[in-house]
């Protein structure tokens, strides 16, 4: 999956904090913030 700054994100799905699932298309037209970070206790 290639993503470029300022470009459109591809549709994807991920687990929520309450064991649900959400797709990017579920929030189409809304402002959202995605924050990614490396797994705890790993370099990077």
Burial category of 3 from C-beta neighbours within 10 Å (exposed 0-12, middle 13-18, buried 19 and up): exposed
Residue 40 lies in a domain: yes
Averaged pLDDT, groups of 10, the chain, 44 residues long: 82 89 93 82 77
Residue 43 lies in a domain: yes
Q: Check: pTM over 0.75? Answer yes or no.
A: no
CA 11 to CA 7: how far, in whole Å? Answer: 13
How confident is the model at residue 17, as a pLDDT? 85
Residue 36 lies in a domain: yes
Residue 29 lies in a domain: yes
Domain extent, residue 38, equals 11-44
Residue 1 lies in a domain: no
Residue 20 lies in a domain: yes
For 19, the 3-state DSSP assignment is coil
When divided into structural domains, the chain yields a total of 1
Give residues with Cβ within 8 angstroms of 38, minimum separation 6: 44
Residue 5 lies in a domain: no
């Amino acid at each position: 999956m290639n993503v470029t700054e300022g470009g459109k994100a591809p549709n994807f799905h991920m687990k929520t904090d309450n064991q649900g699932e959400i797709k990017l298309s579920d929030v189409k037209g809304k402002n959202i913030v995605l924050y990614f970070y490396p797994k705890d206790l790993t370099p990077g």
